[in-house]
Amino acid sequence: MPVKVLTGNHAVAEAVRLSRVKVIAAYPITPQTTIMEKLSEMADKGVLDARVLRVESEHSALAAAYAAASAGARAFTATSSHGLLYMHEVVWWAAGSRIPLVMAVVTRAIGPPWNIHVDHQDIMDQRDTGWIIGIAQENQEVLDMTIQAFRISEDPRVYLPVMIGLDGFILSHTSAPVDIPSQDEVDAWLPPRRQPYVITPESKIVMGNISDDDEHFMMRYSMHVAMNEAKRVIKEVDESYGKTFGRSYGGLLECYKCEDADYAILLAGSWAGDAKTAVEMLRSEGYKVGVIRIRFIRPWPREELLEIASRLKGIIVFDRAVSMGSTGILLGEVSSTLYSTKISIRGTIAGLTGVDVGPEAFYTQAKEFIEKVEQQGHVYEPLHWLLPPRYRRRGKPGKIERAEVVM
């Protein structure tokens, strides 16, 4: 298995090639575009036997990929930020149709103003749509998770589409070593495509025709049943992948240095690496801290989190997306999961709109939280804003401020 230095986006493309995807449809958007460019190049060179469709919008991109999947092709699309919002209607329809499909989402802030940098607002906005949603930490995991996504999506216990999140620029445009499995190995591990039905001119099936409200209700319920089954399938697939390729990630979540931990930093995405570095700093000072890295926000790892939390005094959640008027998205999930426990929780909104958060910030925030819990016994602070460094000193804004536009 050769190790190559690849960007996160090229890792996605390699995974799509190895998964023998037959139809790819996408519309360019930074920072997704290089996934599509690479796949087009592969198809052009003949190393990828797929139809690459250039469509006129993201709405059409997913409609085309999902139609091809309905007709029996292993299909793929990729997008980001505004593109994902534009396809949001079809995101619901693809999941509701129960057709296996995989999409890469290169996470990026949403405007206004225009901003191409990372946050999780776009992918978190999809959390109720019925897609299985994974978020990777490293380029290697991006490749592994994308290959796994096809197997999860096409499992007859699941039959739901899967979205793979990778952080814009921080993974998508960063080169790092990636171990690329051989085609033979992937062929042996990834079963032929399975799906619940195929729509062809001969099949005489109509998807989405008007139905009875009770029937529609039961379709929603059946998607939820499939999501619950997906929890087991994701774990099985992760373990099976580990046996074949030597890399397992822990299923729905990864618990880093949790064995003896009293506290944990909980988050999703590439900045978990920075949090792990902060854990080393904290541990060198005697603070027993671990990292709970959420790998799948849907299905939500409720049972795993409850089990881990039973051994902890406190969890500090870092959210790269906020539900304005409420709290961070992960904080809401964590709070409802741990409602019946006595654990201390703090929710921190940070790293929105590409604002950099490094090990120092995690170290300082976690330490402050731990000290507070140790002094007060129990803390529940659902909404704590970690403002950008130059705004931390100024304090809370009090009057109308006009943004400084930087060209």
Partner 1 sequence: MQQPIIEEPRTYFKAPLSTPQPGSAGVTGAWRVKKPVVDPDKCTGCQICWLYCPEDTIIILDTGKVTVEYEYCKGCGICAEVCPFNAIKMVDEGGA
Partner 2 sequence: MEDLLEIRFHGRGGQGAVTAANILADAAVREGKYAQAFPHFGAERRGAPVVAFARISTKPIEVHSRIERPDIVVVLDSMLFELVDVTSGLKRGGILVANSKRNPGIEGDYKVYCVDATGIAMRKGLVVSGWPVVNTVMLGALSKATGIVSLDSLAEVISSRFPEDVAKRNIDAMKSAAESVHTC
Site residues (vs partner 1, CB under 8 A): 22, 72-74, 96-98, 156-157, 159, 192-198, 204-209, 211, 215-216, 218-219, 221-222, 225-226, 229
What is the smallest separation between the CB atom of 105 and partner 1, expressed in angstroms?
A: 24
Three-class HEC string of 81-137: HHHHHHCHHHHHHHHHCCCCCEEEEEECCCCCCCCCCCCCHHHHCCCCCCCEEEECC
Question: Which of the choices partner 1, partner 2, none does residue 3 contact, using the CB cut-off of 5 to 8 A by kind?
Answer: partner 2
Nearer to partner 2 by Cβ, of 301 and 359: the residue is 359
What is the smallest separation between the CB atom of 58 and partner 1, expressed in angstroms?
A: 23
For 32-54, give the DSSP string: THHHHHHHHHHHHHTSS--EEEE
What is the smallest separation between the CB atom of 154 and partner 1, expressed in angstroms?
A: 8
380-385: strand order across its sheet: 253-256, 289-294, 263-267, 314-319, 344-349, 380-385
Nearer to partner 1 by Cβ, of 222 and 364: the residue is 222
Radius of gyration of the chain (CA): 21
User: Applying CB under 8 A, does 358 fall inside the site for partner 2?
Assistant: yes
What is the smallest separation between the CB atom of 404 and partner 1, expressed in angstroms?
A: 49
Whole-angstrom Cα distance, residue 402 to residue 404?
Answer: 6
User: Applying CB under 8 A, does 173 fall inside the site for partner 2?
Assistant: yes
Q: What residues pair up with 380 in beta bridges, in sequence order?
A: 345
Contact call for residues 53 and 75 (beta carbons, < 8 A): no
Contact call for residues 372 and 336 (beta carbons, < 8 A): no
**Chain-centroid distance, C-alpha 353:** 17
User: Applying CB under 8 A, does 14 fall inside the site for partner 2?
Assistant: no
Nearer to partner 2 by Cβ, of 144 and 167: the residue is 167
Q: Using alpha carbons, select from 21, 129, 137, 11 the residue that is nearest to residue 77.
A: 21
Among positions 52-81, residues that touch partner 2 (CB under 8 A) are none
Q: Using alpha carbons, select from 122, 157, 94, 111 the residue that is nearest to residue 32.
A: 122
Nearer to partner 1 by Cβ, of 56 and 202: the residue is 202
Nearer to partner 1 by Cβ, of 56 and 215: the residue is 215
What is the smallest separation between the CB atom of 73 and partner 1, expressed in angstroms?
A: 7
**Residue 353 has what DSSP assignment?**
G
What is the smallest separation between the CB atom of 172 and partner 2, expressed in angstroms?
A: 9
User: Applying CB under 8 A, does 175 fall inside the site for partner 2?
Assistant: yes
Instruction: List the one residue from 55, 110, 116, 258 that touches partner 2 (CB under 8 A).
Output: 116
Nearer to partner 1 by Cβ, of 65 and 291: the residue is 65
User: Applying CB under 8 A, does 265 fall inside the site for partner 2?
Assistant: no
Nearest-5° angle of CA 334, CA 339, CA 343?
Answer: 80
Segment contacting partner 2 (CB under 8 A): 45-53, 125-133, 274-282, 390-398? 274-282
What is the smallest separation between the CB atom of 406 and partner 2, expressed in angstroms?
A: 10
For 243-291, give the DSSP string: HHHS----TTEEEES-TT-SEEEEE-STTHHHHHHHHHHHHHTT--EEE
User: Applying CB under 8 A, does 156 fall inside the site for partner 2?
Assistant: no
What is the smallest separation between the CB atom of 390 and partner 2, expressed in angstroms?
A: 14
How many residues sit close enough to partner 2 to count as binding (CB under 8 A)? 27
Question: Which of the choices partner 2, partner 1, none does residue 96 contact, using the CB cut-off of 5 to 8 A by kind?
Answer: partner 1
Instruction: List the one residue from 76, 159, 263, 271 that touches partner 2 (CB under 8 A).
Output: 271
Instruction: List the one residue from 58, 119, 167, 333 that touches partner 2 (CB under 8 A).
Output: 167
Specify the long-range contacts of residues 36-39, CB closer than 8 Å, at least 24 apart: 36/78, 38/9, 38/10, 38/13, 39/13
Question: Which of the choices partner 1, partner 2, none does residue 208 contact, using the CB cut-off of 5 to 8 A by kind?
Answer: partner 1
Nearer to partner 2 by Cβ, of 161 and 354: the residue is 354
Whole-angstrom Cα distance, residue 119 to residue 297?
Answer: 15
Nearer to partner 1 by Cβ, of 20 and 302: the residue is 20
In this structure, the chain runs to a length of 407
Question: Which of the choices partner 2, partner 1, none does residue 194 contact, using the CB cut-off of 5 to 8 A by kind?
Answer: partner 1
Which residues are at the interface with partner 2 (CB under 8 A)?
Answer: 3, 5, 116-117, 138, 167-171, 173-177, 270-274, 276-277, 354, 356-359
